[in-house]
Structure 1
Amino acid sequence: MKVKFQRRSSGKDAMACSYQNPALSTEDIAMEPTTKTDPESGIHDNVDRLNSSFPSSDPPSYHEEHIDDEEEEEENQNKCMKAVSMVSDGISKVLAEHEVVIRKTVYVILCLGYLAFLIAACVINFCRAFAFLVITLVVLVFVVYGLIRDRWGKAIYKSCLKPAAGCFVKVWKYAKWIVYLGILVGIGLFLGLETGKQPDQLISLVGYLGIILCLFIFSKSPGKVKWRPVLWGLSLQFVLGLFVLRTSVGYDVFRFLGDKFQGFLAFTDDGRSFVFGSGLVVTSSTANLSEITSFADLIVTAAYLLHNFVFKALPIVISFSAAMSVLYYVGLMQIVIQKIAWIMQFTLGTSGPESISAAGIIFVGMTEAPLLVRPFLPTMTKSELHAVMTGGFGTVAGSVLGAFISFGINPSHLLACSVMAAPTALAISKLVYPETERKGSKKAERLQIEVSQQRNLFEAAASGASVAVTLVSNIVGNLIVFIALLGFLNTVLSWLGVMAGIPNLTFETICSYVFMPLAYAMGVPWEDCPIVAELLGKKIFTNEFVAYLDLADIIAAKKISARSEAIATYALCGFANFSSIGIQLGGLGPIAPNRKGDLADMVLRAMITGALVSALNACLAGLLYQEATIAVLPTAAVNTTMGYLNMTTPAPPACAYAGTLLDCMC
């Protein structure tokens, strides 16, 4: 279409228009003249009106066909979507109607497949499948317990447990004194026989009782001490120590747990070798290259092991923290902590929050454990706050435990000490700071732990790793600062010592004399006391990382006996040092801002109490520790005996193990 505009020569502006389209006559176009003031606006208005009245420039037949094609295509798409929607709705309806049956069918199929795999694995090699079988049985016990609790728990409690508990309370009121007397007599006979066989162990017993006496003398309120939590806590400590150190089953269990814990931490090698490099690096123990005379003086190691502490120990802290976060997300940590807390609450009579905090410190750090009882911190009594802080100072977190194991420290001793520290910390905390205020409710609901806020496993693992990065940075920063300060202090002491005629005066030398009586009271042989006393001083005035690094070097060099190694391992297992005071206050202050004054008043007392928790564990280790002795028969005697009995040496099994089936779990 074509529109032409032409201005007339007359005075009145008008528009001449010719439209080259036979379908439209000139009468169909109405034109109005524009005003004199704005002639151009009239032209534009008429053009707009003219164009709005024109039909499409496309031929009508083409335009209609195009519209018909689009409508047909849209109609076909709607039919397809309706069909898909109908099928989807039908499937959803069937699934909704038979949801229970389908779910049970899937569960049955999965269980049958799992059972078939378990049977096949046991038939092929029972020893190799023993670990899988044990894990299956443990999970099955928890599942059955959960089903029974959810379905018949209330009925069982009302009909059986509640009446039995009532009868037990009535009988226990009179029978408890007989039980207590029997326990004390049994412990006394055991200790008498043990110290009679090995008089050296009597020193550890005297040291143990001496520490308890000192704690009672310097108690906040000696006349108000309630002895139930004290005696029960120390009894639990003794039973755990006896189980670990003097029974073959306990030793095998904790040795097995330590080995598997160490094996799990070894998977960190994959991550740190990728981050720090797995290439080989040639190093030498000598600083002067001219002293290298042969290839024997060179050491070939992987790049990620070049700096053992930063590249090996600290990544373990990150990976273990992520693993703990995942276990917390799936709910396993809450169950374990609640059960341990329930045992301590039932026996010691402590409140729910302080029991949960003491149980949680076995697995998490001194700043993370109070988060488990965050809602109760602002209203806790001073005795409960002191117990929370003492538990934090008295043991180490599970993530840091992995770093100590990577140093070469005995994992079974570290695990046993961490477990023993929980009831011990509660016991002597109630001895040092007795409960004198009105306590809150000790009902079971106070044992509830907050559910993890992460949405999936990946977020839980990432959150745990992020938290550990902060912990690692704090560890590195503290080590740099305190080792530097220790070097400066040694320089100043050496300078002062030279002027006083005492050469080689250092901080370690002072500690070796100051803490030597404590080391001897723990049961350390006198010749090893200076070395162990140095470690105690470094642990208290710097931190436990410095002490354990030195202990690892001492163990590797065989400078002290195996008994001294075990006692030192227990004595150093705790966060009780002056640098941790700031960490403790910084962690608890923001959670309970209204209790900052109380926390500051009690933190030094709690730190000293936490240090003595480790000392009590070390005394108990010295009392119960026995070095393993293995009798080796001469080969000739074995051959003679076997020949006499007409026996042949049996072939080793397919999966060789020694002594116990626990070793099958490889």
Structure 2
Amino acid sequence: MASPEIEKRREDQRPSSQIEDTVPQILGPQSSKGPPLGKDTHDHNKPSSAIEEHGTRTHASSSIYEKYKPVFHLFIWLLFTGWWIAGLCLHGIHDSTGSRTGWLKPFLVWLAITLRFVFFYVPITVITKPMHWVWTNTGVRFTALVPEKLRLPLSGAFVVAVFLIGGFASAESKDNTRANRAVSLFGLAVIVFAMWATSKNRKAIKWHTVIVGMLMQFIIALFVLRSTAGCETDGTSDDIFAFFSELARDLLGFAKNGIAFLTDKDASKLTWFLITVLPAVVFFIALVQLLYYNGILQWFIGKFAIFFFWTLRVSGAEAVVASASPFIGQGESAILIKPFVEFLTMAELHQIMCSGFATIAGSVLIAYIALGVNAQALISSCVMSIPASLAISKLRYPETEETLTSGRVVIPEVDEHKATNSLHAFANGAWLGLKIAGMILATLLCIIAILGLADGLLTWWGRYLNINDPPLTVELIVGYICYPIAFLLGVPRNGDLLKVGQLLGTKLVVNEFVAYSNLQTDPRYADLSARSRLISSYALAGFANLGSLGTQIGVLSQIAPGRTGDISKVAFSALIAGAVSTLTSASIAGLLIQDQAAYFKPSAASG
């Protein structure tokens, strides 16, 4: 339980008028581009609060935009509508030239723009109120017909049935036999049981969050790995995740343009880590900062947060951080709720740290793609980690206190180091990217060097015990420790178990960067089966390692110095929960994947 002083401060921070659970509020950081994100205004002649606050720095173009906003919106909408219709006329719905000119991706772009402009002028309640009415008169009434004692067992049985049908109904393929799928499903059950057995308070577990979170994770995986809209590996379909993967790989090409300018075209084609990976990290972080300044990133995070807030019944702070972690990383996501960190419950602190450990950030995702890791696996793993981290964390450390952000989703304004305009934001992002790239470079250099030192000492020590083939190394030790985990994930029993165990151990003890580098470049892993390689790609996609443990404690302690002791108490448990969340995604991938070899065709990024 939190101390009386913290409870008093929570009461002082609690709003005077409670927001009803049925109408969550999103307060996005204000932007010079328009009104607060997620908040629809009807008086569009009134200047935004951002313009009022920074009136002395308002440019004439911004004033013109505010005055003629409807005209600008109409022009942009007509432009994209014409583009979409022209594409349909020129290429049709089924285009023989392939997925680059299919109908689905431009339609989704047009739909997103249309909805965004519509909700500038029409309150979103015109949709949410009918949806709420329909749900109240269908789902709620149907649930009421089921005796309360049977609701939880029936919900669990339904989820198990979905897993069984989704996992075993499809035909077998090489390595993806039903026996291998059964092992992956068994491993998933073992993971859930282990989290329940080691739970902080088994009686306080809210099974709704656990059941819905696992179901949502499985449905996302079904969409990605089985549907043609989610992912079609033959390249003829307009698949969504392949589209995002293609965009991510294209970013590498844009970064190479900068390298070619600074050096020459031949240097930009080198596959060195220093040339291929780090410049892409710098450019991507600068781009993220630009999107953040203009409010675009917060808008997406807000929509994700509302969805998970409603479906999983978690607090607003937890929903925001879980939704933001795959986009902006483990430290930056906590800054989004900086005003609330000091008043978080112990379970919320656990969940916030777990979300950071369970996924990788967009800033380094591009680096892994540059190494040649399958982009679709990385992107889908990031999305799957959101419900997974919420479910696993609430299973291991359930909520027993009253939360400050219960019933509302809030993304407060962060004024610290705020940019004055888009160019300033992009420059700040470039500087931040340079610092992060330098940190990655120095960290990897030191870690690989210290690993070499440890391996040298262990090999020398093992030589006197006749441990020579293979020699005694850190990787060998952690490989045997993680051997059972590799088996439970569904890795084929053909010699791959120890190798995948070594990758998992390297990721946990060192970091995922070194593990991914070994997977892609080390000759010892060149003969891994396609199934083992895919499961490894999912299992390594998280920040759960000892180095990140120190990072998270440091960041949260700086935000809320008075909670350092509480943060340290839950940190290791959150690390375990985050690692387990990533492993559940790997198990589900092993359960659902069919044509795993198609996921490892030569990557544009790696070339």
- TM, length-normalised to structure 1: 0.70
Distance 1:621 1:210 in 2: 16
SS at match of 1:367: helix
Higher relative contact order, structure no. (Cα contacts within 8 Å, ≥ 6 residues apart): 2
2:400 alignment partner in structure 1: 436
Question: Is 1:625 paired with 2:593?
Answer: yes
Q: 1:222 to 1:137 in 2, by over 3 A?
A: closer
Q: 2:317 aligns with which of 344, 353, 357?
A: 353
Q: 1:490 aligns with which of 452, 455, 475?
A: 455
Distance 1:107 1:348 in 2: 35
Unaligned 5+ residue runs, structure 2?
1-63, 96-100, 232-238, 599-607
Contact 2:155–2:211, Cα closer than 8 Å, also in 1:
no
| 1:201 maps to amino acid | R
What whole-Å deviation, never above 9, does each CA across 1:125-146 have from its counterpart, x for those lacking one? 6675966665334312221233
Distance 2:83 2:158 in 1: 50
1:422 alignment partner in structure 2: 386
| 1:236 maps to amino acid | M
Contact 1:357–1:369, Cα closer than 8 Å, also in 2:
yes
Q: 1:240 to 1:554 in 2, by over 3 A?
A: farther
| 1:474 maps to amino acid | M
What whole-Å deviation, never above 9, does each CA across 1:342-376 have from its counterpart, x for those lacking one? 11111111000011000000101110000111111
Q: 1:262 aligns with which of 246, 249, 260?
A: 249
What whole-Å deviation, never above 9, does each CA across 1:511-539 have from its counterpart, x for those lacking one? 22221111111111121112111111111
1:242 alignment partner in structure 2: 222
2:498 alignment partner in structure 1: 530
1:597 alignment partner in structure 2: 565
| 2:402 maps to amino acid | R
Distance 1:273 1:199 in 2: 50
Q: 1:155 to 1:602 in 2, by over 3 A?
A: closer
Distance 2:397 2:69 in 1: 55
2:235 alignment partner in structure 1: none
1:480 alignment partner in structure 2: 445
Q: 1:267 to 1:184 in 2, by over 3 A?
A: same
| 1:244 maps to amino acid | V
Q: Displacement of 1:307 after TM fit?
A: 6.5
| 1:496 maps to amino acid | W
1:398 alignment partner in structure 2: 362
Question: Is 1:228 paired with 2:208?
Answer: yes
Q: Displacement of 1:629 after TM fit?
A: 8.6
Distance 1:248 1:212 in 2: 30
Q: Displacement of 1:123 after TM fit?
A: 5.5
| 1:204 maps to amino acid | S
Distance 2:523 2:516 in 1: 10
Distance 1:155 1:220 in 2: 42
Q: For the aligned residues, what is the CA RMSD? A: 3.0
Contact 1:244–1:254, Cα closer than 8 Å, also in 2:
yes
Q: Displacement of 1:226 after TM fit?
A: 1.7
Q: 1:237 to 1:186 in 2, by over 3 A?
A: closer
1:278 alignment partner in structure 2: 264
Contact 2:168–2:178, Cα closer than 8 Å, also in 1:
no
Contact 1:195–1:202, Cα closer than 8 Å, also in 2:
no
Distance 2:512 2:371 in 1: 12
Distance 2:90 2:190 in 1: 57
Bigger Rg over Cα: 1
Q: 2:118 aligns with which of 144, 169, 174?
A: 144
What whole-Å deviation, never above 9, does each CA across 1:229-253 have from its counterpart, x for those lacking one? 1111111111111111122221122
What whole-Å deviation, never above 9, does each CA across 1:616-649 have from its counterpart, x for those lacking one? 111111111112699xxxxxxxxxxxxxxxxxxx
- Aligned-residue sequence identity (percent) comes to 33
| 1:171 maps to amino acid | R
Distance 2:565 2:548 in 1: 18
1:448 alignment partner in structure 2: 411
Q: Displacement of 1:168 after TM fit?
A: 5.3
Question: Is 1:543 paired with 2:511?
Answer: yes
Q: 1:457 aligns with which of 419, 422, 432?
A: 422
| 1:281-320 to 2 correspondences below 5 Å | 302-306=266-270, 308-320=272-284
Q: 1:470 to 1:102 in 2, by over 3 A?
A: closer
Contact 2:77–2:114, Cα closer than 8 Å, also in 1:
no
Question: Is 1:385 paired with 2:372?
Answer: no
- TM, length-normalised to structure 2: 0.77
Distance 2:76 2:597 in 1: 49
1:40 alignment partner in structure 2: none
Distance 1:625 1:113 in 2: 40
Contact 1:321–1:465, Cα closer than 8 Å, also in 2:
yes
1:297 alignment partner in structure 2: none
1:653 alignment partner in structure 2: none
Distance 1:100 1:254 in 2: 35
Q: 1:529 to 1:184 in 2, by over 3 A?
A: closer
SS at match of 1:409: coil
What whole-Å deviation, never above 9, does each CA across 1:466-502 have from its counterpart, x for those lacking one? 2222211221121111111101111110111112222
Q: 1:418 to 1:138 in 2, by over 3 A?
A: same
Distance 1:528 1:476 in 2: 30
